[in-house]
Chain A
Amino acid sequence: MLLTPNAMSARMRFGLYTTTGLIALFLLLPIVFIVLLSFGSSQWLVFPPPGWTTKWYVQFFSNADWMDAALSSLKVAILTTIFSVALGLPTAFALVRGRFPGRELLYGLFTLPMIVPLVIIAVAVYALFLKLGYTGTLFAFVVSHVIVALPFTIISIINSLKLFDQSIEDAAVICGASRLQAVFKVTFPGIRPGMVAGALFAFLVSWDEVVLSVMMASPTLQTLPVKMWTTLRQDLTPVIAVASTLLIALSVLVMVIAAALRRRNEMRLGVAK
């Protein structure tokens, strides 16, 4: 409480509001632009739009290629989410609870994909799958996305597992639950916020991933960002703005769900505000 409104001079407050507003504007403007353009009547993405229309949306939803790409994106994102959580959970337990040499090193290795430039991972994975003949398959998409999504999932599960008092799990064990039962009945509910956040992160990482996806894509299987990328190189149709708007919309939806879940969880556990 260093800067209570009373302690702040009016001028300082004005400066603070202005800067905050400008930063928010800077971050939001591209999104606002693209959403507006998707409803604009101009073929050439003119701003401000000369008129308003939903015909680009009609085009998008009636075009099998776009729909296929959107569905593929959804499929890849959901599978990536499932595998990231399934792999991330036991990894997080091992990294938090385990007492073995090399634990720190292992943590470093698991989070490495966050630091290594994406393009390097993409080239490496592409070379491998090319050799194995897996490029352009759903398998290749999911595996490559899990590589970059897993660190986010692991870190958010680790964070809630570290906060979770292990004596609560011990209490369940002494009450008669086997260790596995205790983990499922007590620890998982306890770290659910971290698991949900980890799942959403994985989903979002996969949902707007483009570098790996461009490498993995084939004419028959591509995700929405890849389809946008390839379309963009041929012509600048407002359908791309529609696809962008839909990408943003789903991301926002996921964030809203996350916020709602967090609120509900806080209410459920009665966390004081």
Chain B
Amino acid sequence: MSAVINETAQPGKTLVSLRNLNKHYGDFAAVDNISLDIKDGEFLTFLGSSGSGKSTTLSMLAGFETPSSGEILVQGQSLVNVPPHKRDIGMVFQRYSLFPHLSVRDNIGFPLSIRKHSADEVKKRVDAMLKLVQLEAFAHRRPSQMSGGQQQRVAIARALVYEPRILLMDEPLGALDKKLREDLQDELRQLHRRLGITIVYVTHDQEEAMRLSQRIAIFSHGKIVGLGTGFDLYQNPPNAFVASFLGNSNFLKLKAQGNATAHFGNQPLAIRLTAGLHTDQDILLMIRPEKAQALSVDQAAASPLQAGWNEVAAKVTEVLFLGESQTCSVVTTGGTPMTVKALSAAGMPLQAGDAVRVRWAAADACVYTEWAESDLSKGAGVH
């Protein structure tokens, strides 16, 4: 087993650098001037909708696509002119892509046989991989005689057996059902922790990205529009697109009045201290539904507003019970729709038509000065 553990990993050091990477198809920029450092041993996810450039970037890393311009450096050495079979990269494909005419053992052993390792060596290392992915009992089966989850474990074993520096995974769990996907996500996370290998993972599923990765790069229209840990990207999205793409969000359009106050209609609200705002500048406030509270008029009267909190009047349009949580959709007096989410355990004794007070802490709301209207809708980024 120790054979597959990446002992040379130097956590924190840059392993792969993408420098001003471009891929054009005619006039269309599939990948638009991307620069990114991938750290040694990290689990990095490319997250984006289809056509956002995430898979094209992965393909360029693998060598199946040639960049129109830009550099791909691994430990300072250019990969651009290295053919894919000499890149020493492992890859797991969406549809498993196992060799249908070979047994599980021969599938996993393929990369070693092609490198002309001795039969003993191949057997030893394939045995180790079979153990790692817990498929010892299936060594002689054909891929078609196995379930989707088992096939993908074979594909992972085949990608790891030759100890590549980097493992690329292109939506590897996309074809599996939800329960199995979560199980395999846990296995993958543990595998990454044990082996210390660098993994670049592509998905359009943000929950999967959160569950798996140390860092997430959010792709949109061929650009990386957000890069950071799942926590940072969710709590403090760098822009309105990321805010709306990740999770749910409420957007309020305000006019700044100094660096800590803004007008919502005629009502003054406290905002996070933001440098460089000028009076009556349009700004966008983003509040996560679970950071807001919806109080009935009576509740609001009973609990005074804390310092640093805001309150706006609204009317309930719909209350939805979702099991562990509840959401309450409201419309403010000014006509802006908002959603408030609370754990069911906390209770939300409201009904459609009730007058409510929506409250949030100014510190929890993000302030943006630049945005496009299309950023605010969920479907943004889809072509």
Determine, out of B87-95, B285-293, B323-331, B357-365, the stretch whose residues face the partner at the interface.
B87-95
Q: Does B114 contact A (CB under 8 A)?
A: yes
Kindly list chain A residues whose C-beta atoms are within 8 Å of the C-beta of B93: 167, 170-171
Interface residues as binary, B104-124 with A (CB distance below 8 Å gives 1, 0 otherwise): 000000110011000000000
Cβ distance A162 to chain B, nearest Cβ, rounded Å: 15
Point out the residue from A165, A168, A177, A269 that lies within 8 Å of B142, measured CB to CB.
Answer: A269
**A271-B85 contact given A172-B99, A190-B100, CB 8 Å threshold:** no
Interface residues as binary, A189-211 with B (CB distance below 8 Å gives 1, 0 otherwise): 11000000000000000000000
> Is A171 touching B85 in the complex (CB atoms < 8 A)?
no
Segment 148-168 of B: residues with Cβ below 8 Å from A: 155, 158-159, 162
A186 to B85 Cα, complex, angstroms: 14
Cβ distance A209 to chain B, nearest Cβ, rounded Å: 34
Kindly list chain B residues whose C-beta atoms are within 8 Å of the C-beta of A32: none
Segment 128-173 of B: residues with Cβ below 8 Å from A: 142, 144-145, 155, 158-159, 162
Point out the residue from B90, B100, B115 that lies within 8 Å of A174, measured CB to CB.
Answer: B90
Tell me which of A167, A173, A176, A181 has the highest count of chain B C-beta atoms within 10 A of its own C-beta: A176
**A171 and chain B: residue at smallest CB distance:** B97
> Is B98 touching A177 in the complex (CB atoms < 8 A)?
no
Cβ distance B293 to chain A, nearest Cβ, rounded Å: 49
Interface size on A, residues (CB 8 A): 24
A179 to B162 Cα, complex, angstroms: 18
A168 to B84 Cα, complex, angstroms: 14
> Is B114 touching A175 in the complex (CB atoms < 8 A)?
yes
Tell me which of B63, B64, B90, B99 has the highest count of chain A C-beta atoms within 10 A of its own C-beta: B99
Q: Does B83 contact A (CB under 8 A)?
A: yes
Kindly list chain A residues whose C-beta atoms are within 8 Å of the C-beta of B142: 268-270
Tell me which of A165, A173, A271 has the highest count of chain B C-beta atoms within 10 A of its own C-beta: A173
> Is A175 touching B144 in the complex (CB atoms < 8 A)?
no
Cβ distance A237 to chain B, nearest Cβ, rounded Å: 50
> Is B100 touching A168 in the complex (CB atoms < 8 A)?
yes
Cβ distance A146 to chain B, nearest Cβ, rounded Å: 29
A178 to B63 Cα, complex, angstroms: 12
Q: Does B178 contact A (CB under 8 A)?
A: no
Point out the residue from A170, A175, A189, A268 that lies within 8 Å of B158, measured CB to CB.
Answer: A175
A177 to B110 Cα, complex, angstroms: 9
> Is A176 touching B114 in the complex (CB atoms < 8 A)?
yes
**A174-B84 contact given A167-B93, A167-B95, A268-B142, CB 8 Å threshold:** yes
A165 to B93 Cα, complex, angstroms: 11
Q: Does B243 contact A (CB under 8 A)?
A: no
A164 to B142 Cα, complex, angstroms: 17
> Is B95 touching A176 in the complex (CB atoms < 8 A)?
no
A98 to B283 Cα, complex, angstroms: 51
Kindly list chain B residues whose C-beta atoms are within 8 Å of the C-beta of A270: 142, 144-145
A175 to B86 Cα, complex, angstroms: 9
> Is B98 touching A190 in the complex (CB atoms < 8 A)?
no
Point out the residue from A177, A269, A272 that lies within 8 Å of B85, measured CB to CB.
Answer: A177
> Is B97 touching A178 in the complex (CB atoms < 8 A)?
no
**A169 and chain B: residue at smallest CB distance:** B97
Kindly list chain B residues whose C-beta atoms are within 8 Å of the C-beta of A175: 85, 110-111, 114, 158-159, 162
> Is B100 touching A172 in the complex (CB atoms < 8 A)?
no
Cβ distance A107 to chain B, nearest Cβ, rounded Å: 23
**B142 and chain A: residue at smallest CB distance:** A270
A175 to B64 Cα, complex, angstroms: 13
**B111 and chain A: residue at smallest CB distance:** A175
> Is B95 touching A269 in the complex (CB atoms < 8 A)?
no
Kindly list chain A residues whose C-beta atoms are within 8 Å of the C-beta of B86: 176
Point out the residue from A168, A189, A268 that lies within 8 Å of B97, measured CB to CB.
Answer: A168
Kindly list chain B residues whose C-beta atoms are within 8 Å of the C-beta of A178: 83, 85
Tell me which of B64, B97, B110, B111 has the highest count of chain A C-beta atoms within 10 A of its own C-beta: B97
> Is A186 touching B144 in the complex (CB atoms < 8 A)?
no
Cβ distance B110 to chain A, nearest Cβ, rounded Å: 5
Q: Does B16 contact A (CB under 8 A)?
A: no
Q: Does B62 contact A (CB under 8 A)?
A: yes
Interface residues as binary, A111-142 with B (CB distance below 8 Å gives 1, 0 otherwise): 00000000000000000000000000000000
5 nearest CB pairs, A to B: A270-B144, A175-B111, A171-B97, A189-B101, A174-B91
Instruction: Tell me the A residues contacting B by CB distance below 8 Å.
Output: 165, 167-168, 170-179, 181-182, 185-186, 189-190, 268-272
User: Can you list 8 pairs linking A and B with CB atoms under 8 Å apart?
Assistant: A165-B95, A170-B62, A174-B62, A174-B90, A175-B111, A176-B115, A190-B100, A270-B145
Instruction: Tell me the B residues contacting A by CB distance below 8 Å.
Output: 62-64, 83-87, 89-91, 93-95, 97-101, 110-111, 114-115, 142, 144-145, 155, 158-159, 162
